[in-house]
Amino acid sequence: MAALAYNLGKREINHYFSVRSAKVLALVAVLLLAACHLASRRYRGNDSCEYLLSSGRFLGDKVWQPHSCMMHKYKISEAKNCLVDKHIAFIGDSRIRQLFYSFVKIINPRFKEEGNKHGNIPFEDKIASVKVDFLWHPEVNGSMKQCIKVWTEDSVAKPHVIVAGAATWSIKIHNGSNEALSQYKMNITSIAPLLEKLAKTSDVYWVLQDPVYEDLLSENRKMITNEKIDAYNEAAVSILNSSTRNSKSNVKMFSVSKLIAQETIMESLDGLHLPESSRETSAMILMNVYCNKILKPVDGSCCQPRPPLTLIQKLAACFFTLSIIGYLIFYIIHRNAHRKNKPCTDLESGEEKKNIINTPVSPLEILLQSFCKLGLIMAYFYMCDRANLFMKENKFYTHSTFFIPIIYILVLGVFYNENTKETKVLNREQTDEWKGWMQLVILIYHISGASTFLPVYMHIRVLVAAYLFQTGYGHFSYFWVKGDFGIHRVCQVLFRLNFLVVVLCIVMDRPYQFYYFVPLVTVWFMVIYVTLALWPQIIQKKANGNCFWHFGLLLKLAFLLLCICFLAYSQGAFEKIFSLWPLSKCFELKGNVYEWWFRWRLDRYVVFHGMLFAFIYLALQKRQVLSEGKGEPLFSNKISNFLLFISVVSFLTYSIWASSCKNKAECNELHPSVSVVQILAFILIRNIPGYARSVYSSFFAWFGKISLELFICQYHIWLAADTRGILVLIPGNPMLNIIVSTFIFVCVAHEISQITNDLAQIIIPKDNSSLLKRLACIAAFFCGLLILSSIQDKSRH
C-alpha cells in the first residue's frame, strides 16, 4: 500500500514539475536575482572596501565576516611582500596604540608590547624595508594638527597609510563637558582639510571610537560613557564627510571596529581597551583594505576590482555571442518555414488538411542550440565568480553545518528507493547511486569548510579514492569484456571528461590543473587504455581459450604497479616528465607541477586496485563462483556471513583510525595503501546480501549521473572565489540562500550534462575518416589556444 502511494505521489509530482520546468524556474530566479543585485550595486555603490570598513558580523566567536565580500588572513610573508618599501603611521591614543601593535604583529609576531606607553613607538623591518610608526597624540588638538601638517608639505616624505583617531582622552580630561565636545569639533574641522589633502596621495583612515563597557571602567574613567562616545563619533563623521563640497571625501571612516567592539567589549579587562582577538581582527581588516588590491588573493574579494578580460576571454565572448545570434536567426527561419506548412482548411469539406512533415533536427541546429545555451550558462558562471555582481562570504565550519545536511540527504536517499533492473555486483544503477551519495557528501564537505576537521577530511579522501577505484573498475571491465580499443571510444571518453573543464579554463581564466580531479581521471583513463591496448592485447575472449593469457595480463598489471611505485618515490622523474612542453601547460599550477604530483601520489594505488578487483570479479563470475540471482547471497551462507563480519570490522577499524588521526601529513602518507580497505569493505557490505543488491536509491542515482558536472560546477556557481568561499545570492538569510543557490546549481549541472552528451554525438562521429578530420580541427584549436596563452603570459609578465 505504501509503495503504491509512493508511486502515485511520484507520478503526480512529475506531472506538474519536470526537470524542464525546474530549469525554467532556475532561469527566472537567476534573472531576478541578477536584476536585484545590479540595482543594489547602483543604489548602494559598488565599492566593497566600504562594506569591509563599515559592516559585518561574527561567524562563531572570533571569525569576522564582512558584508558581501571575503577577508583574507595574511601570512607574515604575504604582509611583508605587500608592504615592501612602505611607511605606515598610526596617530592617536592608547586604543590606536593597541591597533598599531596588532598590525605590526602580522609582520613580526615576536614584536613585544613594551616601551613608553605615552610616547612614540617605532618599528622597522630592514630586510623587508617596512616601516610602521605609532605617534602618541591622545587628543585632537594643535599637536596632532602640526604632526599632520608637516606631511602635507611637498618636501617631506609622506606615509603611504595613515591611521588616526582619538576622543576618550578629551572626554576624560574635561570630565565629559559639552565645551570639550565643542572644542573637539573645532579642532577636527581644522584638521579635516589637511587629512583630505593627504588622502589624495596616501590612504587615510579615521578610526571611530569603540564603545566601552561601563561596568568595568575605573573611577577616573566613569565619565567616558557610550552616549558621549556616540556624540564624538557623530561629530567626526559629519565634519570629515563634509570637508569636500562637490565630491565624496577621500578620508575613509574605519567604523567596523565599533561593530566588533559591541560583540567583544564584555571580554575587556578594563572596560576601555578591546581584547586581543578583536584588535587582531581590526588589524587584519586594515591589511585587507590596503593589500588586497596589490596581491589579489583569491579568498580576499574585498577591495578587489573585477579582473580585466584576457584576450582568450574576449574571443570566447565573441564566439558565444555569435552562436546565440546564429541560433536566433536559425530559429526565426525555421519558425517561418513551419508557419508555411500550417494546416489549411479544405473549402469543399470544411475540414483541416494537415501537412505532416517530420523535419529531423539537423546537427547544425543542435550545435548552435548547445553553444547558445552554453554561452548563457557561462555568462552566469562569470557573473558569479568574476564580475563581482553577486556577494561572497567566507566558510565557517561547525559540526552541525556538516552532519545535519548529511542526515537529511541520507533520509531522502533511503526514502526514494527502487528495484534494480539487474542484480550483478556493482551494476549500473548501483554505481550511479554510489557516485551520487559520495558527490553529495563531498559537496556538503566543501560548502561547510569541513576540511579543517581531520576525521572528516580523511573520510572524504576515501570517497575521492572510491571515484578513482570506479574509474579503474569501469574502464578495465569495458576493455576486458568488449575488447574495443578503437579511437572513437577513447575520444568519446576524453570529450565527456574534459569538455566542461576546457570551456571553464577559457571563460574563467584558470589553468587545467586547477580542476585537479578531471586531469587525474583523464590521465588514469589513458594509463588503463595504454596498459591494455599495447601488445599483446589480452581480452576476456582470448583468455578464455588459454589460461596462459591470464598470467600475461597479471604481468602487465605487475609492470604497471612497478611504474607507479617508481614515479611515486621519484619526484624528480615525475616532475621532469610533466614539466615537458606542452604537458607543462596542462599540469603546472603556480609555475610548477608539485600540486599535480601531490594529487596523483595521494591516490596512486587505488586505480590499480580497481583494475585488479574487476579482473578477479569477472574471473569468478565467468567460472560461476558467484550467485547473483535476485535475493540470493553472493556466496554460501557461511562464507557470506564470514565476509560480512570481516567487512564490517574492517570498515569500522578504518573509521576509528581515521578519526584518531592527529597529523594530516602522516595520515596522507598512509592513505594510498589503506584506503582500499574501506572501499572493498563497502562493496562487500553493499553486494553480499541479495536484498541489498536488488534495490537502489533513485535519488542518489539521479545525482550520480551528473556527478562530474556537479563536482566541476561547484567551483564557481555554488562555492565562490575558486572554492575558497560561498556564493551569496540572497544576503541576510543563509538557509534560503543555500536552498536557492543549490537549486540553480543542480539545474545548471544537469543542463551542462545534456549539452555535453549532445555535442559528443556531433563532434565525435563514429565514422573514422570524419573523426580524423574533427581531431585535426581540435588539434588546430588547441595549438591556437597554446599560442594565445603564451602571448597572454608574456603580456602579464
Residue spans of the domains in the chain: they are 50-295, 397-764, 767-796
How far apart (Å, rounded) are the C-alpha atoms in residues 45 and 43? 6
Q: Which residue has the cell 618599528?
A: 123
What does CATH list as the number for 50-295?
3.40.50.1110
How far apart (Å, rounded) are the C-alpha atoms in residues 74 and 280? 11
How far apart (Å, rounded) are the C-alpha atoms in residues 377 and 751? 9
Omega into 511 within 30° of 0, i.e. cis?
Answer: no
Exactly one of 137, 273, 475, 609 is catalytic; which is it? 273
Question: What's the pLDDT score for residue 582?
Answer: 85
Interior angle at CA 642, CA 638 and CA 645, nearest 5 = 140
Using DSSP's 3-state secondary structure scheme, residue 646 falls into helix
Out of 20-24, 28-32, 243-247, 716-720, which region has the weakest mean confidence (pLDDT)? 243-247
Exactly one of 94, 177, 451, 694 is catalytic; which is it? 94
Contact 48, 389 (CB under 8 A): no
Contact 65, 394 (CB under 8 A): yes
Q: What is the rounded average pLDDT of the residues 146-172?
A: 91
Q: What is the rounded average pLDDT of the residues 658-676?
A: 92
- State yes or no: is 94 an active-site residue: yes
Contact 445, 461 (CB under 8 A): no
Band (pLDDT 50/70/90 cuts) for residue 630 is confident
Task: Name the DSSP letter for residue 451.
Answer: G
Omega into 363 within 30° of 0, i.e. cis?
Answer: no
Contacts of 679 (CB under 8 A, 6+ apart): 462, 465, 466, 469, 606, 609
- State yes or no: is 160 an active-site residue: no
4: pLDDT strictly greater than 50: no
Band (pLDDT 50/70/90 cuts) for residue 397 is very high
pTM of the model: 0.92
Question: What's the pLDDT score for residue 256?
Answer: 95
Using DSSP's 3-state secondary structure scheme, residue 205 falls into strand
How far apart (Å, rounded) are the C-alpha atoms in residues 444 and 453? 13
Out of 343-347, 457-461, 632-636, 644-648, which region has the weakest mean confidence (pLDDT)? 343-347
Band (pLDDT 50/70/90 cuts) for residue 404 is very high
Band (pLDDT 50/70/90 cuts) for residue 305 is confident
436: nearest Cα among 707, 679, 694: 707
Alpha helices, H only, 221-310? 226-241, 256-264, 276-295
Sign of torsion over alpha carbons 559, 561, 562, 568? positive
pLDDT tens-digit series, residues 683-713: 999 999 999 999 999 999 999 999 999 999 9
Exactly one of 270, 484, 767, 793 is catalytic; which is it? 270
How far apart (Å, rounded) are the C-alpha atoms in residues 527 and 516? 17
271: pLDDT strictly greater than 90: yes
How far apart (Å, rounded) are the C-alpha atoms in residues 532 and 771? 23
Question: What's the pLDDT score for residue 1?
Answer: 46
Sign of torsion over alpha carbons 776, 522, 612, 435? negative
544: pLDDT strictly greater than 90: no
Out of 321-330, 537-546, 779-788, which region has the weakest mean confidence (pLDDT)? 537-546
Contact 521, 468 (CB under 8 A): yes
- State yes or no: is 550 an active-site residue: no
Question: What's the pLDDT score for residue 10?
Answer: 54
Q: What's the grid cell of residue 308?
A: 580585466
Using DSSP's 3-state secondary structure scheme, residue 136 falls into strand
Q: Which residue has the cell 560461476?
A: 624
